[in-house]
Amino acid sequence: MTAQIGYRDRAALPRLGAAAPKGPVVLDTNVFVNALVGRGGAELKALLSNLPLSLVSGATIAELNWVGGRLDPAHPETEHVVAKYEAILAQIPPTKILVPNAAQWAEAGLLAGRAARAVAGRARSIRTAFDRIELINDAVTAIVATSAGATIVTQDSDFDLFMQLEPKLHVLFYG
């Protein structure tokens, strides 16, 4: 089954604005990052302005907090950047964070593994430990969003693989 799965042309993917979300919206990490640095335009700013209405995966919360740990505290811009991330994180009500249970973690591991196998050996594949961790985090987001009956908004094409493997997953792409 996975031999036919691969990254499709971005133009063929469901687009934010061209299609309506099914259920609530789950914002992926790249929505926050792109909006905070001024990329992504009005549609991302609109999503963040309605942030308390959206859902966020626990994996996204971890990825956004990673920035504070990764940046050099001695760098003159670190305090400003971390403050921007902390301000956006403070707007996310704890009740809007989708946290996986043990079964969902296991399901996410299987989904990520199936996606990696589907693209193994191709020009674009999962090669490094970082790629693997990122794919697992994305799979966690896919699993908790599907369980919540929500639509993910993302720029990340790994969700294209997940949609092909998990027909119940709804994703809208931007950018």
Q: Where are the beta strands (DSSP E) in 24-160?
A: 25-27, 56-57, 97-98, 151-154
Taking only the tens place, the pLDDT of each residue in 29-60 is: 999 999 988 887 888 888 888 888 899 999 99
- Reference 26, options 167, 110, 143; nearest CA is 143
Asked if residue 65 lies in contact with residue 82, where contact means CB atoms within 8 angstroms, the answer is no
The helix (H) or strand (E) run that includes residue 27 is strand 25-27
pLDDT band at 102 (very low <50, low <70, confident <90, very high): very high
Residue 66 has a pLDDT of 92
Q: What percent of the chain has pLDDT over 90?
A: 71
133 versus 151: the higher-pLDDT residue is: 151
What residues make up the domain containing 149?
Answer: 23-173
For residue 75, the domain's CATH number is: 3.40.50.1010
Q: 160 Cβ partners below 8 Å, 6+ apart? A: 7, 8, 13, 171, 173
In a domain, 10, yes or no: no
* 15, pLDDT greater than 60: yes
In a domain, 4, yes or no: no
* Distances 106 to 17, 30, 57, 87, 169 between C-alpha atoms, Å: 33, 24, 16, 32, 17
Asked if residue 152 lies in contact with residue 47, where contact means CB atoms within 8 angstroms, the answer is no
In a domain, 47, yes or no: yes
Residue 145 has a pLDDT of 98
Q: What is the mean pLDDT of the chain?
A: 91
Taking only the tens place, the pLDDT of each residue in 73-84 is: 999 999 999 999
- Reference 36, options 82, 99, 2; nearest CA is 82
How far apart are the C-alpha atoms of 164 and 168, rounded to whole Å? 10
Positive/negative CA dihedral, 147, 151, 153, 157: positive
The backbone torsions φ and ψ at residue 77, rounded to the nearest 5 degrees and listed phi first, read -95, -10
Residue 123 has a pLDDT of 66
* 124, pLDDT greater than 80: no
Tell me how many domains the chain contains: 1
Q: What's the pTM value of the predicted model, to 2 decimals?
A: 0.91
In a domain, 169, yes or no: yes
Residue 95 has a pLDDT of 96
